[in-house]
Amino acid sequence: MSDIDEKQKRIDEILVAIPTARDERELENLRIQAIGKKGANTELLSMLGSMSIEERKHYGPRFNANTANVTSAVSLRKGQLAEEAMNARLASERIDVTLPPRPEPRGTIHPVSQVLDEVTAIFADLGFAVAEGPDIEFDDYNFTKLNIPPDHPARQMHDTFYVARQADGSQHVLRTHTSPVQVRTMLKKKPPIRIVAPGRTYRVDSDATHSPMFHQYEGLVVDENISLGHLKWVLEEFYKAFFEVDSVELRARPSYFPFTEPSVEWDLRCDRSVQGQIKFGTGNDWLELAGSGMVHPRVLSMCGIDPKRYSGFAFGGGVDRLAMLKYGIPDIRPFFESDLRWLKHFGFAALDVPTLDGGLSR
């Protein structure tokens, strides 16, 4: 058999193999063997140069036809392989819409997380930005810049967890309240300021209504001409939205916090005449809700704000207490015991994000 016949035979075999190539790689391999750089037909074509005119007339069209036949067979098979791959993918990714839905998610949202989200949603609606601070706080921010200098008797009220003093002599504490976020905000930002700071707080304290780790929310507004009237309106709006009632009645009591002057504590009118139930807006009982006051001018100055030009109010209360009141939870300790039965009973559906429009706690 001549060299030409042998190569032609190889090309014919390739033309037979192409329609059954199993994948793109095998197909490409066959194409290269026929019409690649060193393919059988490429070699045939290169022989044309040394042939006589007669031979060239005879073989030329045949070799060119080889190229055309291989190219069109490869392209046909390529299309078929692509279609087969798509069909296989469609079959494997098919969704059976008649199958039952996935089981309900089993995790629940902790009542404290729920109330933190509710508080944030309400204050966001009133135009307050959310501010944060660290749990391990400078003694200076937790106390001194809040007008509680070292040795001030008010430090005793806080039952503080102190952190070992640093090598440079600086003192840190586990923050005893969210009020240092006021300091952090005022040091960074100039008025107008309107923030809410929810977060974790710590005190050496433990009984049915006190936990060593608990949560507070803090509000701060600083601007020109801010008064106690503004504070009362904000708190009324907040408690109406939080307890989901149309009206509330707040009672102001004089109080003392070193960082506010005057200081006011707020009670909410409620009805506890039915055992185990509490109603807001009616009744003859009063429920302690929040500490507050006008930001002390000395605190404003220590935080770089001119007290002659600006005034502000601040308030703060317990988040865990709010959760206990709103959801009828009698003891604070199980909040942090991770008992799954308790969590299931008092937890909230994971996908119900509280919003004022969609409902806070439904």
Residues 332 and 214: beta-carbon distance below 8 Å: yes
Provide the token pair at 86: 């798509």
Q: Within 149-168, which residues bind ligand FA5 (CB under 6 A)?
A: none
- How many binding residues for ligand FA5 (CB under 6 A)? 22
Measure the CA–CA gap between 259 and 240, rounded to whole angstroms.
27
Q: Which of 211, 217, 258, 266 binds ligand FA5 (CB under 6 A)?
A: 211
Indicate the length of the chain as a whole number. 362
Through-space distance between the first and last CA atoms of the chain, rounded to whole angstroms? 89
In whole angstroms, the minimum distance from the beta carbon of 238 to ligand FA5 comes to 14
Helix, strand, coil distribution of the chain in percent, nearest 5: 45, 20, 35
Provide the token pair at 314: 């601040």
User: What values do phi and psi take at 77, rounded to 5?
Assistant: -65, -35
Using the minimum distance from each CB to ligand FA5, give the nearer residue, 139 or 218: 218
In whole angstroms, the minimum distance from the beta carbon of 343 to ligand FA5 comes to 19
Is the Cα torsion angle 348, 266, 233, 280 positive or negative in sign?
A: positive
Q: Within 329-348, which residues bind ligand FA5 (CB under 6 A)?
A: 332
- Residue 231 class from Cβ within 10 Å (0-12 exposed, 13-18 middle, 19+ buried)? buried
Q: Which of 141, 243, 315, 335 binds ligand FA5 (CB under 6 A)?
A: 315
Q: Which of 216, 239, 280, 323 binds ligand FA5 (CB under 6 A)?
A: 216
Q: Which H/E stretch holds residue 291?
A: strand 285-295
Q: Which of 314, 323, 325, 360 binds ligand FA5 (CB under 6 A)?
A: 314
Q: Which residue reads 């803090």 in tokens?
A: 218
When asked if residue 111 is in the footprint of ligand FA5 (CB under 6 A), the reply is no
Provide the token pair at 222: 């600083």
Q: Which residue reads 């067979």 in tokens?
A: 73
Using the minimum distance from each CB to ligand FA5, give the nearer residue, 105 or 153: 153
In whole angstroms, the minimum distance from the beta carbon of 231 to ligand FA5 comes to 10
Name the one range near ligand FA5 by CB under 6 A: 2-10, 105-113, 207-215, 269-277: 207-215
At position 137, the amino acid (one-letter code) is E
In whole angstroms, the minimum distance from the beta carbon of 359 to ligand FA5 comes to 25
Name the one range near ligand FA5 by CB under 6 A: 95-103, 112-120, 209-217, 270-278: 209-217
Q: Report which residue's Cβ sits closest to ligand FA5.
A: 318
Concatenated DSSP letters of 102-156? PPPP--EE-HHHHHHHHHHHHHHHTTPEE----SEEEHHHHTGGGT--TT-GGGG
Q: Which of 198, 291, 312, 354 binds ligand FA5 (CB under 6 A)?
A: 291
Using the minimum distance from each CB to ligand FA5, give the nearer residue, 63 or 335: 335
Using the minimum distance from each CB to ligand FA5, give the nearer residue, 125 or 288: 288
Binding mask 167-206 vs ligand FA5 (x if CB under 6 A, - otherwise)?
----------x-x-----------------------x-x-
Q: Which of 63, 214, 239, 266 binds ligand FA5 (CB under 6 A)?
A: 214
In whole angstroms, the minimum distance from the beta carbon of 153 to ligand FA5 comes to 14
Measure the CA–CA gap between 178 and 201, rounded to whole angstroms.
7
Measure the CA–CA gap between 305 and 183, rounded to whole angstroms.
11
Q: Which of 316, 326, 346, 348 binds ligand FA5 (CB under 6 A)?
A: 316
**Binding-site ranges for ligand FA5 (CB under 6 A):** 177, 179, 203, 205, 210-211, 214, 216, 218, 257, 260, 291-293, 314-318, 320-321, 332
